[in-house]
A and B are shown apart, each in its own frame.
Chain A
């Protein structure tokens, strides 16, 4: 059993009681909600005649269903309109802060909370969304929950949950040029497999992780869940503190100094005990692309799609399904695969640094005429910043469509969808069958820089050829 890791410290601090049978009642320091997984939870509160216990500990925004072309109300999609209205009504009734469209602070919940300074080290953070693991980048313990648990957090600010084991993933050396956090996390998931993290929290550590910016660290923690780990985190350091400093909800004046002292005390101790430790060499990671229907099915840009015989017995079943669904032949190279749609955005890679790196690749270049390309900033703040830096113009000049903030084609709950069996090069997090809105649509996950490169060439390309 793990001891003295950040995970253990934060868990113990938030433990309210031991429940019969061995699960723990854990206090949730920050609860984030959005329009998709909260309406039924508020409905259940009403049915049970319960109130929201600490309304100030819940923050809402709207992201999954928002259109990215025309956001004027009412939305064209009646169901989407009904969902945003329900959230507006619930927040008003229960006195929950809601960052609505046009507030300047709306966006994907996992982009918004860090940029407001809501996400801080040492907190427990829950949200009815599996990518809540993103917030672990700040040294918080953050995990996705279902709607019944959203109800429980609203009613009691606590949930019943079994303590996770802790696996440290030590990333040695550093990433080479043209290789990004997305490549590293895809590589980790490929090495460990998509179910290795079941029952675990992942602690990402080592020189390669220390080197990453906060936004890159968010990309890593965001995809913990794709490796099966409900929670992923990174010990806080000076980069963490300076990212938070002066943000809207960050501790101010004398509270700031106290916060820093406390945050520093949370780091995993040098001699802490882990349930498991994995080491890998980050300098060996290359630009990585998924070829299949799980985020674990990835290869380096110059590799061939694996042959069935090269795979472990456990991986064969899904690989067969993947070859068929993706119409790929085992042994085929992934490089030069034609793409129809290029999408830059999502809670994984829709932040300002992601847009900057993609814009750098696209500057003075044109998107291939066979490709529909669009960029969806992660939040209104990201969009504003990008416009100040002229990035929107670079995207537009290249042929990318510049959209309004939201989750968009990561899960295609709005009108941004693949059509038929189109292939998309996507900076999002899931390549599941049908994920991007068409039951036969095909997704290739990659870094935003790689998406930009694919957009220019109209096919999967090595971004290193663009940035040298």
Chain B
């Protein structure tokens, strides 16, 4: 691992970092972190195993192995990124490798929720913009300053209007993306709902 990992906490409004392009549609969570690495009771050591099998196959040529990308933190992907298994181990592994934000054409639903829940904002852009960024990265470093307040990403010569789900954007700006305490604030409403649901009474007797 390149540097000491610290979990994000609180408000997330600006992210600055180098982009790392990863080309391919439908990259599933089995590829991001193969199932054998799920045999763990914490997420701590996942960072080094991210894309393990893809990296071995490419023998050092995988973007996550290139020396020039070792400090990158903004991942640029294509469509349906993170499809398949619900394993949160996938975004946890990316985060522990150093990824702080992801920009892509589209994301699988569960992967997207998992990213939001652990503090990795995911943004979307049209296919052409993504490809433009990925091509740009082929020849030179692309550093982006992401501003969540304005949903903007800027580099020396690019300005991009990022799309992000409004609920996610607000949660990051207010620091409430770690949902547990927000949910628990409605303790009374939860109790009321529990008491109203018809099937709770049908099934009072579990044996």
A437/B36 contact (C-beta < 8 A), A22-B167, A156-B183 known: yes
Docked CA distance A43–B40 (Å): 12
B137 in the interface, Cβ–Cβ < 8 Å? Answer: no
Check if B199 sits within 8 Å of A228, measured CB to CB.
no
User: For residue B168, which residue of chain A has the nearest CB?
Assistant: A21
Which of B13-21, B69-77, B103-111, B149-157 is the interface stretch? B103-111
Which residue in A40, A144, A432 is a CB contact (below 8 Å) of B110?
A: A144
A317/B25 contact (C-beta < 8 A), A37-B87, A162-B167 known: yes
Note all chain B residues with C-beta closer than 8 A to A412: 35-36
Docked CA distance A160–B79 (Å): 24
Note all chain A residues with C-beta closer than 8 A to B34: 434, 439
B194 in the interface, Cβ–Cβ < 8 Å? Answer: yes
Note all chain B residues with C-beta closer than 8 A to A16: 186, 189-190, 193
Check if B206 sits within 8 Å of A155, measured CB to CB.
no
Which residue in B107, B113, B190, B202 is a CB contact (below 8 Å) of A259?
A: B202
Check if B30 sits within 8 Å of A435, measured CB to CB.
yes
Note all chain A residues with C-beta closer than 8 A to B106: 195, 198
- The smallest C-beta distance from B189 to any residue of chain A, in angstroms, reads 5
User: For residue A198, which residue of chain B has the nearest CB?
Assistant: B109
Which residue in A22, A82, A160 is a CB contact (below 8 Å) of B41?
A: A82
Which of B60-68, B138-146, B170-178 is the interface stretch? B170-178
Task: List which A161-208 residues lie within 8 A (CB) of chain B.
Answer: 161-162, 194-195, 198-199
Task: List which A23-58 residues lie within 8 A (CB) of chain B.
Answer: 23, 25, 27, 29, 36-37, 39-40, 43-44, 48, 50, 53-54, 56
Task: List which A192-234 residues lie within 8 A (CB) of chain B.
Answer: 194-195, 198-199, 225-226, 228, 230
- The smallest C-beta distance from A376 to any residue of chain B, in angstroms, reads 16
A128 in the interface, Cβ–Cβ < 8 Å? Answer: yes
Check if B113 sits within 8 Å of A43, measured CB to CB.
no
Check if A321 sits within 8 Å of B108, measured CB to CB.
no
Question: Could you mark each residue 161-193 of chain B with 1 if its beta carbon is under 8 Å from any beta carbon of chain A, else 0?
Answer: 000011111110010101110111011011001
User: For residue A18, which residue of chain B has the nearest CB?
Assistant: B167
B6 in the interface, Cβ–Cβ < 8 Å? Answer: no
Question: Could you mark each residue 125-136 of chain B with 1 if its beta carbon is under 8 Å from any beta carbon of chain A, else 0?
Answer: 000000000000
Docked CA distance A222–B118 (Å): 26
- The smallest C-beta distance from B7 to any residue of chain A, in angstroms, reads 11
Check if A294 sits within 8 Å of B86, measured CB to CB.
no
Check if A130 sits within 8 Å of B184, measured CB to CB.
no
- The smallest C-beta distance from B190 to any residue of chain A, in angstroms, reads 6
- Interface residues of A toward B: which range? 35 or more
Docked CA distance A132–B86 (Å): 10
Check if A194 sits within 8 Å of B197, measured CB to CB.
no
| Count of chain B residues with a beta carbon within 8 Å of a chain A beta carbon | 70
A342 in the interface, Cβ–Cβ < 8 Å? Answer: no
User: For residue B207, which residue of chain A has the nearest CB?
Assistant: A248
Check if A228 sits within 8 Å of B80, measured CB to CB.
yes
Docked CA distance A125–B190 (Å): 16
Which residue in B53, B80, B207 is a CB contact (below 8 Å) of A198?
A: B80
A411 in the interface, Cβ–Cβ < 8 Å? Answer: yes
Docked CA distance A433–B174 (Å): 39
Check if A151 sits within 8 Å of B180, measured CB to CB.
yes
- The smallest C-beta distance from B109 to any residue of chain A, in angstroms, reads 4
A318 in the interface, Cβ–Cβ < 8 Å? Answer: yes
Check if A413 sits within 8 Å of B39, measured CB to CB.
yes
Note all chain B residues with C-beta closer than 8 A to A144: 86, 110
User: For residue A121, which residue of chain B has the nearest CB?
Assistant: B199
User: For residue A45, which residue of chain B has the nearest CB?
Assistant: B180
Check if B197 sits within 8 Å of A27, measured CB to CB.
yes
A432/B30 contact (C-beta < 8 A), A20-B170, A198-B108, A255-B202 known: yes
- The smallest C-beta distance from B25 to any residue of chain A, in angstroms, reads 5
Check if B31 sits within 8 Å of A432, measured CB to CB.
yes
User: For residue B181, which residue of chain A has the nearest CB?
Assistant: A48
- The smallest C-beta distance from B84 to any residue of chain A, in angstroms, reads 6
Check if A27 sits within 8 Å of B110, measured CB to CB.
no
Docked CA distance A435–B36 (Å): 10
Check if B203 sits within 8 Å of A21, measured CB to CB.
no
Docked CA distance A262–B34 (Å): 43
Check if A230 sits within 8 Å of B184, measured CB to CB.
no
Note all chain A residues with C-beta closer than 8 A to B89: 147
Task: List which A239-268 residues lie within 8 A (CB) of chain B.
Answer: 248-249, 251-252, 255-256, 258-259, 262
Note all chain A residues with C-beta closer than 8 A to B190: 16, 27, 53, 156-158
Note all chain A residues with C-beta closer than 8 A to B201: 255
Note all chain B residues with C-beta closer than 8 A to A258: 198, 202
B159 in the interface, Cβ–Cβ < 8 Å? Answer: no
Check if B109 sits within 8 Å of A199, measured CB to CB.
yes
B101 in the interface, Cβ–Cβ < 8 Å? Answer: no
Docked CA distance A247–B167 (Å): 40
Task: List which B34-51 residues lie within 8 A (CB) of chain A.
Answer: 34-36, 38-43
Check if B109 sits within 8 Å of A146, measured CB to CB.
no
- The smallest C-beta distance from A222 to any residue of chain B, in angstroms, reads 13
Note all chain B residues with C-beta closer than 8 A to A318: 24-26
Check if A162 sits within 8 Å of B165, measured CB to CB.
yes
A80 in the interface, Cβ–Cβ < 8 Å? Answer: yes
Docked CA distance A123–B41 (Å): 30
Check if A145 sits within 8 Å of B85, measured CB to CB.
no
- The smallest C-beta distance from A35 to any residue of chain B, in angstroms, reads 9
Check if B194 sits within 8 Å of A54, measured CB to CB.
yes
A308 in the interface, Cβ–Cβ < 8 Å? Answer: no
Q: List 17 A-B contacts (CB under 8 A).
A: A17-B189, A21-B166, A77-B39, A79-B40, A83-B39, A130-B84, A146-B86, A147-B114, A149-B117, A152-B117, A160-B179, A160-B183, A161-B113, A195-B26, A199-B109, A228-B109, A434-B30
Instruction: List the 7 shortest-distance A-B pairs measured between CB atoms, nearest first.
Output: A21-B167, A146-B88, A21-B170, A146-B114, A148-B117, A144-B86, A251-B202
